[in-house]
Amino acid sequence: MPTKPDYPELAAALQGWRYRPECDCLQDKVIVVTGAGGGIGRAAAKTFACYGASVVLLGRTRSKLEAVFDWIEAQTNTRPVIVACDLGALDDSSADALHDAIAEGYGHLDGLLHNASTLGPKLPVANYPSREWQRVMQVNVFAPFLLTRTLIPLLNAAPAASVIMTSSTVGRKGRAYWGAYAVSKRALEGLMEVLADEHEHAGVVRINSVNPGATRTAMRAAAYPAERPETVPSPEAKMDILVYLMADASKAVSGQALDAREWNPRDGGKPTV
């Protein structure tokens, strides 16, 4: 870990990391992080910056993004940018505007972490409001599709680029009452597989999904209100796999549905059996 940043949560989590990156492994890379204002997205943005990346902070709440921006500017020598964007309203024109801003500011894009998502109500499908179903699918599936499609030219302009889809346990095995959230995460897995297959031969953009497992976030607390937060791993504890997938060490890894709890970098990025 770089020595300068004051980030005690990351320093504590490093003890359990299975991948020990060089301190400049993300140097000069440009990475978009959606949902960068909190939880896993905030930890990822700060961690990527600690390892040298300039992070495009995309999220709905500007005040939260500003707090992450201020920390990165104070603690690292990178160039963060704030993009306040409600993925529930993302359309072609707003995605194109993001593309143009990144093209003008950086000229290329090395990484895209699709982290933002919404839980939606935990109800039987028979009682699920159609408007809520549409909202969850918009944020969790359509927005990642549209952002990826729009930013592919910038990803292809990088020497090697990485796209990470944040998945879920219920996206790999459906569970009662998880409704649109589970279906959206299963769809995201399908999007990852299609993209990985489409980009396999060019070898420039690699695409993988990661199930972080139980993580101490606001969404986790909403889904499991009776759970004690201190018993759940911090977001920083899951950053080793994300840094690995963004770093050049993972250039040969694409099309993998990875689980942060089982993953071992010595297995070429494949899940541990």
Residue-by-residue pLDDT tens, the chain, 273 positions: 444 688 999 999 999 999 999 999 999 999 999 999 999 999 999 999 999 999 999 999 999 999 999 999 999 999 999 999 999 999 999 999 999 999 999 999 999 999 999 999 999 999 999 999 999 999 999 999 999 999 999 999 999 999 999 999 999 999 999 999 999 999 999 999 999 999 999 989 999 999 997 676 676 667 667 777 776 678 899 999 999 999 999 999 999 999 998 998 876 555 432
Residue 43: which CATH number? 3.40.50.720
Residue 14 belongs to some domain of the structure: no
Residue 209 belongs to some domain of the structure: yes
Helix axes 239-246, 39-50, angle to 10 degrees: 50
Distance CA 113, CA 131 (A): 26
Residue 182 belongs to some domain of the structure: yes
Residue 191 belongs to some domain of the structure: yes
Residue 87 belongs to some domain of the structure: yes
And the tokens for 2? 């770089």
Rounded to two decimals, the pTM is 0.93
Candidates 106, 181, 224, 244; catalytic one: 181
Distances (CA, A) of 232 to 144, 186, 224: 27, 24, 11
Active-site residue flag, 181:
yes
Question: What pLDDT score was predicted for residue 1?
Answer: 45
Question: What pLDDT score was predicted for residue 225?
Answer: 77
Question: What pLDDT score was predicted for residue 209?
Answer: 98
Helix axes 130-137, 179-199, angle to 10 degrees: 30
Residue 7 belongs to some domain of the structure: no
Question: What pLDDT score was predicted for residue 235?
Answer: 87
Q: Which domain holds residue 156?
A: 21-267
Question: What pLDDT score was predicted for residue 19?
Answer: 93
Residue 108 belongs to some domain of the structure: yes
What domain count does the chain have?
Answer: 1
220 within 8 A of 227, measured Cβ to Cβ = yes
Residue 216 belongs to some domain of the structure: yes
Query: What sign has the CA pseudo-torsion 16, 18, 24, 28?
Result: negative
CA 43 to chain centre: 10
And the tokens for 146? 């549209």
Question: What pLDDT score was predicted for residue 81?
Answer: 96
